[in-house]
Amino acid sequence: MSNVCGTAHALSILSPIADGRAPALRGALEGLGQGGASPLARLPGTHLARWVLIPELDFEDFAPEGEEHRPPVYLLFTSTFDGADDEHLAAICAKLPQEADAVWSHCRGYPGTEDPARFADYMRRHRIRTNLFASAYADADLAEILEALRLRRRLIRFAVSVEGLDPEALRSAFRREFPRDEAQRGAELAPAR
Amino acid sequence: MSARGDSGDRTTPLTLFTAIRPRWILWLRPLLRLATWLPGPRWTLLRLKLIHYARWAIVSHVPPGASRGERRRLPRSYLFFESNFNGTPASYIEAFSYVFPKGMRAIWGSSHGFPGPIPSEGLRAWIQRGALPASHHYCAYPEATTREVLAALEVARGLEAFRRAAEDLPAEEFAAAYVRLIEDLQLSL
């Protein structure tokens, strides 16, 4: 499948904005929390996601002044996530129903999150089929990436802190910092490849 | 090309729709299919180590996934491209154009107005003119560049292997193995 690369899946949804609703949609998007407070942070296994306002797709070349001067006609949602598409769509209904409705309710024909089956059907009808998808970390899911980033920070701190220790003290310090039970959990999380 | 977001977010989202020349779509569709199955093109692109993920899609109808009776054919087909990169747009586009020139010509050569990958100034101006700003952008690891994620995965694998092999060694042998571990991982720390 061309929307899958290793553990990562690509989802792209292009929804037509209802007539006259673009300003309200823009306001809804601007009102969302940023960074860790983003509603998209509640979606399990989601690496990256975005909403983008898209102008009418009728141009041949870009307007000289840039596309931002053209009124938005479509709302594009994209996400990169681990797991199955159906689970991801169900998670949107379960984890961010208010925010999803606040955004997509400005789009034509949007059924809401109350009925997850109708929501998933709407998303499938507006889904862009990915032709090519590339991932820099094809073999690592989100949990592995976050754990690896934490481990790297800890190893850097540890390496600085143990400079000059004798072998016995070094081994004890290592066992305290990286205990065996954590290694077992880590092995389950990040099997050697 | 930017999004509103945390100041600590080191990834920049790029979203681009370009109009495909009429007959070129006959070439573009199989090319993208081929690139999905051949590891070379994707590897070359990711060799930049500036991109977390990238996707390309051809959009000819709206709604894109609707059945024939429900959808409207666009006046022309569009190539949708999305990526997330580290660094400035200028450095990203310059690196892209020098590392991936054949791939860029093959893919975006089908688009109206594509100036070619080199010199990169023209390409940069073209992309910046067409790039659509994200109204909302989320990254689960905003503080990490692609290189840092790749380095962290290398460290995690090395550390796991070390824990399994060295934890029960006598202290002197453990210390020697630890020094080797840090030397092996020094470029990733």
Q: Cβ B46–A126 below 8 Å, yes or no? A: no
- Chain B contact for A11 (CB, 8 A cutoff): no
ipTM of the complex: 0.90
pLDDT of residue A69: 66
Domain contains B138: no
Is B36 in the same domain as B109?
yes
| C-alpha distance from A68 to closest chain B C-alpha (Å) | 7
pLDDT for residue A184 is more than 80: no
**Same-domain pairing of B100 and B33:** yes
Which of residues A20 and B128 earns the better pLDDT score?
A20
B113 and B37 inside one domain: yes
Contact A51, A103 (CB under 8 A): yes
Q: Same structural domain for residues B126 and B158?
A: no
Q: What is the pLDDT of residue A173?
A: 96
Nearest to B65 by CA among A125, A158, A61, A29: A125
* Predicted local confidence at residue B6, as pLDDT: 42
Residues B66 and B157 in one domain: no
Per-residue pLDDT of A56-97, as tens digits, reads 999 888 766 555 567 899 999 999 999 999 999 999 999 999
Torsion of CA B106, B110, B114, B118, to 10 degrees: 10
Q: Which of A48, A67, A167 sits opposite B130 (nearest CB)?
A: A67
Does one domain contain both B118 and B161? no
Please name which of B114, B1, B20 lies closest in space to residue A57, comparing C-alpha atoms: B20
Question: Is B57 part of a structural domain of the chain?
Answer: yes
> Considering only residues 116 to 135 of chain B, which have any Cβ-Cβ distance to chain A shorter than 8 Å?
126, 128-135
Considering the domain architecture, whether residues B91 and B181 belong to the same structural domain is answered as: no
Of A80, A171, A193, nearest to B53 by CB-CB distance is A80
- Are B163 and B99 within one domain? no
* Domain count across chain B: 2
A61 CB neighbours in chain B (<8 A) are 19, 112-113
Q: In this structure, are B52 and B109 located in the same domain?
A: yes
**B75, B32: one domain:** yes
Is pLDDT at A169 greater than 70 in this prediction? yes
* Confidence bin at A185 (pLDDT 50/70/90): low
> Cα angle vertex A146, ends A143, A147, to 5°?
80
Contact predicate A87/A78, CB 8 Å: no
pLDDT in tens, B133-175: 999 999 999 999 999 999 999 999 999 999 999 988 999 999 9
Check B152 against A68: CB less than 8 A apart.
Answer: no
pLDDT attached to residue A192? 35
- Collect all residues with Cβ–Cβ distance below 8 Å to A181 and sequence separation of at least 6: none
State how far residue A84 is from chain B, nearest Cα, in angstroms. 18
Q: What does the mean pLDDT of chain A come to?
A: 90
Q: Topology of domain A4-125, per CATH?
A: Alpha-Beta Plaits (3.30.70)
Closest Cα of chain B to A52: distance in Å?
5
- B22 is in which domain, residue-wise? 11-130
Residue of A nearest to B83 (CA): A134
> Would you call A29 exposed, middle or buried from its count of C-beta atoms within 10 A (0-12, 13-18, 19+)?
buried
B139 and chain A in contact, CB less than 8 A? yes
d(CA B53, CA B97): 17
Tell me the residues of chain B between 48 and 77 that have a Cβ less than 8 Å away from chain A: 49, 51-59, 62-67, 70, 74-76
Where in chain A is CATH 3.30.70.100? 4-125
Output the CA–CA distances (angstroms, integers) from residue B97 to B2, B31, B91, in the order listed: 20, 19, 10
Closest CA–CA distance from residue A191 to any residue of chain B (Å)? 8
Polymer length in residues for chain B: 189
| Average of per-residue pLDDT across A120-144 | 94
Q: Which residues of B touch A124 (CB under 8 A)?
A: 65
Q: Tell me which of B130, B162, B180 is where a domain ends.
A: B130
Question: Cβ–Cβ of A61/B112 closer than 8 Å?
Answer: yes
pLDDT at B19 over 60: yes
| Percent of chain B topping pLDDT 90 | 54
Choose, out of B55, B150, B173, the residue to mutate when testing the contact with A (most A CBs < 10 Å). B55
Which of A 40-59 lie inside 8 A of B, CB atoms?
40-41, 46-55, 57-59
Stretch A94-112: mean pLDDT: 98
- Mean pLDDT score, A139-156: 96
Q: Number of A:B CB contacts under 8 A?
A: 264
The answer to whether the Cβ–Cβ distance between A190 and B156 falls below 8 Å is yes
Is residue B25 located within the same domain as residue B77?
yes
- The H or E element that residue B62 is part of is strand B51-62
Q: Report chain B residues whose CB lies below 8 A from the CB of A23.
A: none
Asked if the model's pLDDT at residue B9 lies above 80, the reply is no
Enumerate the residues of chain B whose CB falls inside 8 A of the CB of residue A66: 128-130
**Is the pLDDT confidence value at B4 over 70?**
no
